[in-house]
Amino acid sequence: MLSPLALAAGPASPADLLAARMQMGFSLGWHIIIACLGVGMPSLLLFVEWRAVRAGDADLMRLARRWAKGIGVLFAVGAVSGTILSFEMGLLWPGLMDVYGQVIGIPFAIEGVAFFIEAIFLGIYLYAWDRLPPRTHLLSGLPIAIAGVASAFFVVSANAWMNQPRGFDLENGRVTRVDPMAAMFNPATLHQTVHMIIAAFMVAGFGTAAVYAVGMLRGRRDRYHRLGFLIPFTLAAVLSPIQIFVGDYAARVLAEHQPTKLAAAEALFRTGTHAPLSFGGVVRNDTLHWAVEVPSALSILVGFSPATLVKGLDQVPRADRPPVNPVHWGFDVMVAIGFFLLLISAWLAVAWWRRRDLPRPRLFLWLAALAGVAAVVAVEAGWIVTEVGRQPWIAFGRMRTVEAVNPAPGLWVGFLIVLLVYLLLTVATVYVLRVMTRAALVRAVAPQERA
């Protein structure tokens, strides 16, 4: 269904459509890293501060204070990148907002409230560290953690609506009888929000632990670094098997509500029973070449039986199919990293069960350092599956992406400007965090030198 804007101005050119998609994809891909840290880090911080206050532990308090400063920097940067994304929704996709804005506006509005709550209490938390009693200060941080998770939920629920549009009727091309609750709590909401929030905690856990793993590889094996590694890594390790089960559930939901996306993720072109799971390979001429296949595994995954019928891409008109290769590769990368993170988590669990210590080989620390980057790559790959796998629809089955894009020419200029802005943001963020890290190391070493 063409929006009134597209009908009035004409469709956008393929080049401008590509520019809009690249700008949105790049902005979202950059912001999601900061957002994951913003969701997961406050809970880690509060746990560490709680343990520090309860036990009077100086090392834990050092961790809490250092993490709090890092969260402050990341929140400021995330506010900038999140604001850019909010403007892009209206500037790049006015067709979507013109027709469906009243349907999906509620979760965005609530997310804005959650953001302001988070900002207010983060200011109180950082400013009042030495001005409030320890327990009161700790309580002031709870709204930060709750608001961060709430923000993720409401934003992802809006994205879930784009995968499963609900909560409205269409009469003569106009939206009527809007039900915001039905829109927000659509069939994709549960698995997408849970999957994303767990992923955010895993990125925060493995990412934070990776910093201390690198420090330990460089010889800093003191208790401060061990705690800085063990606490976030343990949280992420506990969530790793849970995430795999959530992903398994999500695949079955896709089989029921978005079989085209699942077929693209598995590069399955032929509908039938005994459908295989395919790893790797390249799609050419509607055929997957050089893949490793597990016979009947996809049918078993979807319906717990090899006889389960799985719909392939042959059931979808060619014009309605997503690009298969990026969706298939993104899915494989996400799954492979998920099992990699599960294995190194199990390695730590076995070593801790045997002797209450980290695994002795340095290889473990190298892999733990790699896990921080790998968790981020897994999230990015998952979003490729979610977004590219929905194409050519911006609202699945309701509105095509080409109908929603801004028909004004010159979107490439905006894309180049956004690239420059994010380059500056990246350089500034890395610089500030490195300066803070050096200052923390100097303060840690100075007392030892004076002694």
- For the chain, which residues make up each domain, given as ranges? 4-252+327-450
**pTM above threshold 0.85:** yes
Q: At what angle do helices 411-450 and 58-92 cross, to 10 degrees?
A: 170
Cβ contacts of 58 within 8 Å, gap of 6 or more? 52
Q: What is the pLDDT along the chain (451 residues), one digit of tens a residue?
A: 555 544 444 566 778 888 889 888 888 988 899 899 989 999 999 999 999 988 888 889 999 989 998 888 888 888 888 888 888 888 888 888 888 888 888 888 888 899 899 899 999 998 888 888 888 888 999 999 999 999 999 999 999 999 999 888 888 778 888 888 898 999 999 999 999 999 999 999 999 999 999 988 988 888 888 999 999 999 999 999 999 999 889 888 888 888 999 999 998 999 988 888 888 889 888 888 888 888 888 899 888 889 889 898 988 898 889 999 999 999 999 999 999 999 999 999 998 888 888 888 889 999 999 999 999 999 999 999 999 999 899 999 888 988 888 888 888 888 898 889 899 988 988 888 888 777 665 555 554 444 4
